[in-house]
Amino acid sequence: MNESADIRFLLAIRESGSLVAAARKLGLSASAITQRLQQLEKKLGAQLLNRTARRLQFTEEGTLLCERGAELVQQFDMLFEDLQMRRGGLIGTLKVNAPLGFGRRYVAPAIADFQQQHRDVDVALTLSDRPLTETTERFDIVVHIGELPISNRVGYTIAPNARFVCAAPALVKRLGSPESPDELGTMPCIVLRENNEDVTLWQFSRGRTRRSVRVSSHLSCNDGDVIRQWACEGRGVILRSEWDVADDIAKGKLVRLLPAWKAPDADVMALTHQCAGLPARTRTFMQYLQARFRPLPPWRASR
């Protein structure tokens, strides 16, 4: 059998987490997966997996083959991709992870247009409310909004993005407009649950002055579109990204509160595995994504 195919087969098992899941991924029967694994182990003269009813555990030899093999497969793919580039095209599969709302509104259209230009690239988009808690090694690019946590990923800025405190005009008329962040603690607020963050602690600054406010929330959701709609209906105050609320503010559906106070920016980032050695399709898509938001992102273009 082809050594590259053997390594890819083993990597598919590791990524899937089980032989059954690997069978689905590869379009094979469970018995065919088991038979191929046994043939590979016989060929190498080493057991690669310890298989029990509850879990799948790689042996030392299996782990070594996956780790070293993944590097070799990547180099192999990059070689053929470079050859393809010389002929004027990109090849391969690009796996992208993005947040739900931003992914639907901006990343999905960008991917569709990118793939239209590069017909030999297959793009797999995964939308998640917790992109940073996913198995990030599964993805070539992770689109992230906000502060970059400690990570082995390299971050590239895609677009600037502020965060605003907003409420419906009807709610402001009923409760009044707060003059300081502290007053938010007594107002009904709506929060977005994502990335296991402390979502009820809102932070602000004005010059050198800092304020942290613990808001009270009886409504929460993991989908930003839902909390924005609730806010437009006058159900509470939200702290939301500029990209999501700019249109509603412009249309008068939402009013920006505390304009003199600044919440931490939440720039749009693209996270990749490393600076050097990225496949051409990954580099090209990242540059394409950056260009989509220049010179101004859509949420600032109409100002």
> Coil, strand or helix: which one is 142?
strand
Whether the per-residue pLDDT at 2 is higher than 70: the answer is no
Q: What is the pLDDT, as a whole number, of residue 66?
A: 85
Q: What is the pLDDT, as a whole number, of residue 18?
A: 78
Q: What is the pLDDT, as a whole number, of residue 1?
A: 41
Q: What is the pLDDT, as a whole number, of residue 278?
A: 76
Transcribe 149-213 into DSSP letters: PS-SSEEEEEE---EEEEE-HHHHHHH---SSGGGGGGSEEEEE--TT--TTEEEEEETTEEEEE
> CB–CB of 102/143 below 8 Å?
yes
Average pLDDT over residues 85-106: 83
Per-residue pLDDT tens digits for 282-297: 889 999 999 999 999 9
Average pLDDT over residues 158-178: 96
Per-residue pLDDT tens digits for 207-225: 999 999 999 999 999 899 9
Transcribe 84-115 into DSSP letters: HHHTT---EEEEEEEEHHHIIIIIHHHHHHHH
Q: Which domains does the chain have, with CATH numbers?
A: 3-83 (1.10.10.10), 89-160+267-301 (3.40.190.10), 163-257 (3.40.190.10)
> CB–CB of 40/1 below 8 Å?
yes
Rounded CA-CA distance 41/197 in Å is 44
Q: What is the pLDDT, as a whole number, of residue 151?
A: 64
Mean pLDDT of the chain: 86
Q: What is the pLDDT, as a whole number, of residue 34?
A: 85
> CB–CB of 290/100 below 8 Å?
no
User: pLDDT class for 276, splitting at 50, 70, 90?
Assistant: low
Name the pTM for this structure.
Answer: 0.71
The pair of three-digit structure tokens given for residue 164, joined into one six-digit string: 């605003």
Q: What is the pLDDT, as a whole number, of residue 46?
A: 85
Q: What is the pLDDT, as a whole number, of residue 178?
A: 95
Whether the per-residue pLDDT at 251 is higher than 90: the answer is yes
Per-residue pLDDT tens digits for 96-142: 999 999 999 999 999 999 999 998 899 999 998 776 655 556 788 99
Q: What is the pLDDT, as a whole number, of residue 136?
A: 54
Whether the per-residue pLDDT at 194 is higher than 80: the answer is no
Rounded CA-CA distance 98/110 in Å is 12
| Structure-derived torsion over alpha carbons of residues 160, 109, 270, 193, reported in degrees to the nearest 10 | 80
Whether the per-residue pLDDT at 166 is higher than 80: the answer is yes
